[in-house]
Amino acid sequence: MNNRKRPKLEIRETRKYGKGVFAAEDIEKGRIVWVLDGERMDALDLVERVNGDAENINDPLQIGKRTYIDLDEFSRTFNHSCDPSTGIRKTSEMFALRDIKKGEELTFDYSATIAPTEWKMRCKCGSRNCRGILGDVLSVPREQLDYYKRHGALQKYMKAILTDVEAGRYEIPKYELAALAKLKRTSEEFP
Ligand SMILES: [Zn+2]
């Protein structure tokens, strides 16, 4: 992964939810901000790690129908926003959805990266259009999903899944349902 020649970024405390990543220079719309990276794993590895407390369920990024990235320390510092400044395209390329000013937080819409499943997370992003509870890609309001589509802010695997959903032929894979059933529920997780 080539993260050289990327805009300067910095990690800082946010007022709302721990650390976040911020622009240390102005970033023009469309520019690559970062390539999210980490170790590849499949859904069953993911469940094992979460159950073994080695991983927080909210950290890995899905990049394929069965493939996830165990995000590295830096990549997992980007927070979610319901009104994100960046989008994710290709496999895991993060780019500016609009012009971003120096000092602004770099966020993406976690839901837009999550294939249909039963995942839920409480959101405290504080944006005007905050959805309150985050779910998978199908929980993103239609208008906003169309906005991501128009701006190319969907991963390759997700575009394929949405095509299947629209054609009425998408089902949550059996292996994933089995994996979800094995998942230990924690108090932090939304019921
Ligand atoms: Zn929100």
Q: How far is the CA of 190 from the centre of ligand 1 (A)?
A: 15
Judging by DSSP bridges, how do beta strands 32-35 and 93-96 pair with one another?
antiparallel
Task: State yes or no: pLDDT of 16 exceeds 90.
Answer: no
| Chain segment 52-106, per-residue pLDDT in tens | 877 776 678 999 988 999 999 999 999 999 999 999 999 999 999 999 999 999 9
In total, the chain counts a number of residues equal to 191
Q: How far is the CA of 138 from the centre of ligand 1 (A)?
A: 15
Burial bucket for residue 75 (CB in 10 Å: 0-12, 13-18, 19+): buried
User: Stretch 105-130: mean pLDDT, rounded?
Assistant: 92
Residues 6+ apart with CB under 8 A from 43: 66, 68, 175, 176, 179
pLDDT at 187: 42
pTM of the model: 0.89
Q: How far is the CA of 120 from the centre of ligand 1 (A)?
A: 12
Q: How far is the CA of 29 from the centre of ligand 1 (A)?
A: 22
Q: How far is the CA of 126 from the centre of ligand 1 (A)?
A: 6
Q: Which domains, and CATH codes, for the chain?
A: 9-182 (2.170.270.10)
Q: Quickly count: other Cβ atoms within 10 Å of residue 148's Cβ.
A: 22
Q: How far lies 37's CA from each of 62, 72, 92, 100, 159, in Å?
A: 11, 6, 7, 22, 20
